Amino acid sequence: MALTTVSAATRDRFLEEWLACTLGTYPEQTSRFLREEPDPFRNPVGHTLDVSLRGLTVELFGGFDRARVTAWLDPVIHLRAVQDFSSADAVGFVALARCAADRVAERGSQGIGPGALDVLGTRIDEMVLIAADLLDRCHEEIHAIGARAARRRVFVLERAQARAEARAAARGGAPRSAPRGEIP
């Protein structure tokens, strides 16, 4: 059985299971909010998860274009990279798609057949690797942002010190030392 022949109802059940499993990775109160609040402005994380997992489901059961899969994974990975998830948990929501597929397959002949389940598993494994690459890039971006912020702080301190030395030189004396914690 090819994945493209899986019924729309089965795909919808798969999406519901995957979204439920993914929301289960959050604390209970947060999970409830993410599930129940429909307003994308009040709940951007829940909205992003819903839209992205829908797109990923289309790719899993469709043509599985790597560029489109990357585009759907990217917003979720960016979110989870800055949340309190370990690296494994940040990309782990992708592997939860396999659990969702197994649950749907257990529901009988209207679900996902064994052959299609194997193909789906291979695609999910590929998505996990893509997600891991995206997470690495996110962590690199986060570290680069931190390094730039540290360089800016040092620059501001050096500039303040240079101004203090210039003022002291203009007065003809040694630079006045500032009280601890103050910039001269």
Tell me if 15 is assigned to some domain: yes
Tell me if 74 is assigned to some domain: yes
CATH of the domain at 81: 1.10.490
Q: Tell me which residue of 56, 59, 26, 68 sits closest to 43, measured CA to CA.
A: 26
Tell me if 162 is assigned to some domain: no
> pLDDT of 104-154, one tens digit each?
888 765 667 778 888 899 999 999 999 999 999 998 998 888 888 888 888
User: How confident is the model at residue 183, as a pLDDT?
Assistant: 60
Tell me if 50 is assigned to some domain: yes
Tell me if 18 is assigned to some domain: yes
Low-confidence spans in the chain with pLDDT less than 50: none
Q: Which residues contact 59 (CB under 8 A, 6 or more apart)?
A: 65, 68, 69, 72, 123
0.75 exceeded by the pTM? yes
User: How confident is the model at residue 24, as a pLDDT?
Assistant: 93
User: How confident is the model at residue 81, as a pLDDT?
Assistant: 92
User: How confident is the model at residue 170, as a pLDDT?
Assistant: 84
Q: Tell me which residue of 117, 134, 116, 140 sits closest to 2, measured CA to CA.
A: 116
Tell me if 113 is assigned to some domain: yes
Tell me if 35 is assigned to some domain: yes
Domain count for the chain: 1
**Domain housing 8:** 3-136
Tell me if 172 is assigned to some domain: no
The DSSP H or E segment spanning 94 is helix 87-105
